[in-house]
Amino acid sequence: MDNAAHAESLDHEVYRAPLAVRPPFEFRNTPTVYRETYPGPGKVPDQIKVWRVQNSPLGNAVIRLSGFRDSPDTEVIAAGFNHAKEYGAAGIGRQGNFLQWGYGDPPARMTEAGRRFFISCIHYIHRFDGKAPLVRRRAVDRGAIPSVASSITSVSEDKRQFFLRWFPESLWEKYHADPEGLTAYYQANLELVYYDRVYRVDEELKSLGLDSNRKVETLERLFELRKDENHRDIVRRLLTRYTDGSGSYDFRNGRDRIYFSDVGGYKFKVVPERYLAAKSPFGPERSVNRATDTDTSGAAFRFRDSGR
C-alpha cells in the first residue's frame, strides 16, 4: 500500500470528530489491479483522488475485503491506495474493538491530516471497549475458492497434495488437469460452497431446492423441514453443518442479529444482544453496521507493519 487513502468518500464520522480532518487532495494514476476489481458504477477513472496519510511511501499494509466484511462488527474506515490488492481494500478498518491501522509511519512522520485522523480513530475505537471481535478465522472466504481452483496446475509443490488440501478427492480424477473446469464448477456453485476439511459444494442442500447456504431464509427453512419425516435425517446433518449448537435463532424478533460467516467456519451465528449498539460521546447510542467470541478485553488498536 502507498502512503495515501482514497478520497472518494469522506463521510465517516472520524473525519469530523473529535478533530476535523480536511486533507489536501491529489490525483494518482490508477493502479492496474483497480481496472480488474473496480465495482462500478461505470469504468474506473484514469486517476484516483487520494489524500496523503504519511510521508513514507513504503512499510504499509492493506486488508483485502474478501472475508473481512462477512461479520457485522467490521467496517472500512478508509480505503488504502495500493497496487497489489483490490480497489477499496481497507487501509484503516475496524473489527470489534480492534483498530486496523495499516500505515507504518509514527505520528512524527504523518501529515497533519494523518495525525488528526489517527487521533480521531483512537477516540472512535474507544467506543467499542469490551466488544471483542465476533469471528475468529476458521476458513477462507468462498470468494477466494475459484481463484485457488484456477491455480491447481501452476503450483510449485506436489500438485495432488495441493489439490487434496483444498478440494475433495472425488473431484481429482475429473479436474486435476482442468483448472478452467474446476474454476467454473465452483463459480457456478459459489452460493453452496462450505468447508469440511476441504471446500465442497453442498449437494444435499441443493437437493432440497435451496440455492444458498448463507441466507437466513435457508436456515429458517431447515428448521421448518425438521417436522417432515421424509427430510429429517438430511436436515439434521445440514443443521449440524451450518450451526454450532450453541445459540438459538429468533426469526421473528431477532432476525437482524442472525448472520452467516465463511471465515468463522461457514456457520450461522447470532450477534449478542446490544453488541451492535455503540455508545457515542456526541449523542445517543447508534447501531453500528458490520464483527464473534464474547471476550471482555478492552479496546485495542493494531499497527500493521508488514507488506505493501
pLDDT in the model for residue 60 = 78
Res 280 pLDDT > 70: no
81 or 282: whose pLDDT is higher? 81
The mean predicted confidence, pLDDT, of the chain is 87
For 175-221, how does the pLDDT look when each residue is reduced to its tens digit (9 = 90+)?
Answer: 999 999 999 999 999 999 999 999 999 999 999 999 999 999 999 99
Res 149 pLDDT > 90: yes
pLDDT in the model for residue 306 = 36
pLDDT in the model for residue 293 = 33
For 97-130, how does the pLDDT look when each residue is reduced to its tens digit (9 = 90+)?
Answer: 999 999 999 999 999 999 999 999 999 999 999 8
pTM for the model stands at: 0.80
For 249, what's the count of Cα atoms within 13 Å in the CB-facing half-sphere? 22
Identify which of 45-59, 159-173, 224-238, 252-266 has the greatest average pLDDT.
159-173
> Average pLDDT in the 270-299 region?
51
Report how far residue 76's alpha carbon sits from residue 290's, in angstroms, rounded to the nearest whole number: 9
